[in-house]
Structure 1
Amino acid sequence: MFRFFAALLPVFFVSACFPDESISGFVEPTAEYHLVEIDGVPFNAIATISFPEAGKVEGQAPCNRYFAEQTAPYPWFGLDGIGATRMACENLSAETVFFAALEEMMLAEASGDTLILSNTDGREMVFVAR
């Protein structure tokens, strides 16, 4: 048993040498970013995004909590396996707009308390940490 763990030890050390290259490594892990606009239009529902640990994304859409993985190296952005709770509310149309835009984002720019997600078609989501 000891030989098994001794053989795995170098793997653990090597993996610890590589920093998180996803957006999680470039933002404050305790920050919660609130969506303020999509494509220059104010977003009047509540939607958030946060990056609590390497490659992890979670947040609150207008109706539901969601989670996903983000493995692209910064400044690239892309979510894999978006999962969400399935509750209905009066802001379901805003949630549809939010998720549709979020899935299209390809680039991230984190500067101070502002996070901008964008794509090559000129679409943009602006978030501010609170």
Structure 2
Amino acid sequence: MLRAAWLLPVLSLSFCAKDETVAAYGAGGRTWVLQSIDGLVFHATATLGFPETGLVAGQGPCNGFSGHLDVPYPWFEIQGLAATRRACPELEAEGVFFAALMAMEQAEVAGDVLILRNEAGHEMLFTAAY
């Protein structure tokens, strides 16, 4: 019984964990609009946001999406990406967007700019929408 009483406060601390993701370092509370992938203008519309601790969500050119993000900044790795399944004329652009997003490994926030990149040299540039 005494061991259980000691364990309860320790377990409750894990539920109060501080957000260490990119959201806590300037990306949270904003909608980020994709401007380019690998330096090429992205002509369709795609957004990214961090609605609450540990979550990422947004809108691809056709479908809304969400997933989990729990790696500490500056790392970036979306787990469990789920998207709606609506078809639209920009479906090819959406495939490019999701493939690039899932390949990203690091994030950098500089004011109204969010850059996602990976070790292979690929990069996504987002700007904050107001």
* Deviation per residue, 1:35-74 (Å, 9 max, x gap): 0000000000000000111110000000000000011111
SS at match of 1:53: coil
Give the percent of matched residue pairs that are identical in Structure 1 and Structure 2. 44
Q: Given the superposition, is the C-alpha separation of residues 14 and 93 from structure 1 closer, same or farther in structure 2, using an over 3 Å criterion?
A: closer
User: Where does the alignment leave 5 or more consecutive residues of structure 2 unmatched?
Assistant: none
User: Structure 2: how far apart are the matches of 1:13 and 1:81?
Assistant: 25
Tell me whether 1:79 sits opposite 2:78 in the alignment.
yes
How do residues 6-17 of structure 1 correspond to structure 2 at under 5 angstroms? 8=8, 11-13=11-13, 15-16=15-16
Aligned residue pairs, count: 126
Question: What CA distance in whole angstroms lies between the structure 2 residues aligned with 1:101 and 1:15?
Answer: 32
Mapped to 1, the partners of 2:102 and 2:95 lie a distance apart of: 11
**What RMSD in Å do the two structures reach over aligned CA positions?**
1.9
TM-score of the superposition, structure 2-length normalised?
Answer: 0.88
Q: Which residue of 2 aligns with 1:19?
A: 18
Q: 1:11 Cα shift?
A: 3.4
In structure 2, how many angstroms separate the alpha carbons of the residues matched to 1:126 and 1:28? 13
Equivalent position of 2:50 in the other structure: 51
* Residue in structure 1 matched with residue 41 of structure 2 by the alignment: 42
Q: What is the distance in 2 between the residues matched to 1:38 and 1:97?
A: 9
For normalisation by structure 1, the TM-score amounts to: 0.88
Letter of the 2:92 counterpart: S
Structure 1 unaligned runs (5+)? Answer: none
